[in-house]
Structure 1
Amino acid sequence: MDPFGESGPDEPEEFDPDSLGPDVPEAPDVEPDLEESFANIDEVDDELVTAFWGAAVFLNVALAALAIGAMLVYFRGDWTNGGGALLVGTVAAVFAARFYFGYQRSDDESADSEEEGKQEEGEP
């Protein structure tokens, strides 16, 4: 018997690569409704928006500066520029933490004041 001879009766004549694996799923066509998405934007607290964007910007700066600074120090041995970038990244991370914990503290204080108001009214 020749293993490279004619194919058997159960084998297809030509290989179909699409027969391997499951069918590829298709996503439905959905049009985003931006008016509906942004309809409730006025309900968001201004302090929350400020804290979010402040933390987001400072964390992006911190991540980039820390990564670039570490690479400058490690690969080039450039402590002047790399150290400066590490310092900028550290300061940016501290400012991001300040935005985050500042909002968290003010949110906790507002929740405590609401809880005290309910206790004064006689609600449990």
Structure 2
Amino acid sequence: MFPDSEEWPDEPDDPDPESRWGQPEDDLTSIPSVEDPGERVDADAEVEIDSDLARYFWVTVVYANVALGGVSIGLLVIAFRGQFTVGGVAIAVGLIALYRTYDLYDSYQTRVADDDATGADDAAAASADTAGEVSANGSE
């Protein structure tokens, strides 16, 4: 038996894992900070969102979640329980919700495209009226 005062001859010294980083508390304060010019938005500023857009968004989120849940739970019920009726109904509900999600998205895109076309037509008509007035007045 070895006495307590003797060290093991083949035991390496324990390395200090913090020695390779120095003093991070002191070193990190010397890192310069750079302000991104694109992020000068006030955090407390409120953003106005069109109520129709918010409604379309939340209804689409609910339908998409129902679609995901219905299809996945239906497949799991069929695969693990063998209950084709319950699983089939869940998959059908999920597919109907998925179709409804697509339908809402498509109707919103159509509405936005119609609004853009109407806005472009109004702008073209306004510029044509302005051009007609300018030529009638003889200026330019």
Q: TM-score normalized by structure 2?
A: 0.63
Where does residue 125 of structure 2 map in the other structure? 120
Provide runs of 4+ in structure 1 moved above 4 Å: 17-21
Tell me if the contact between 1:69 and 1:84 (Cα under 8 Å) persists in the aligned partners: yes
The alignment's C-alpha RMSD in Å is: 2.6
Tell me the secondary structure at the aligned position of residue 90 of structure 1: helix
Shift in alpha-carbon separation, 1:114–1:71, aligned structure 2, 3 A: same
Shift in alpha-carbon separation, 1:72–1:17, aligned structure 2, 3 A: farther
Shift in alpha-carbon separation, 1:109–1:73, aligned structure 2, 3 A: same
Shift, 1:76, TM fit: 1.9
Gaps of 5+ in 2: 1-8, 29-41, 129-140
* Structure exhibiting the larger radius of gyration computed from Cα positions: 2
Higher RCO (CA 8 Å, separation ≥ 6 residues):
1
Query: What amino acid sits opposite 1:74 in the alignment?
Result: A
Query: What amino acid sits opposite 2:58 in the alignment?
Result: W
Shift in alpha-carbon separation, 1:116–1:85, aligned structure 2, 3 A: same
Gaps of 5+ in 1: 8-12, 26-32
Given candidates 73, 87, 90, the residue that maps to 2:95 is: 90
Q: Distance in 2 between matches of 1:47 and 1:56?
A: 14
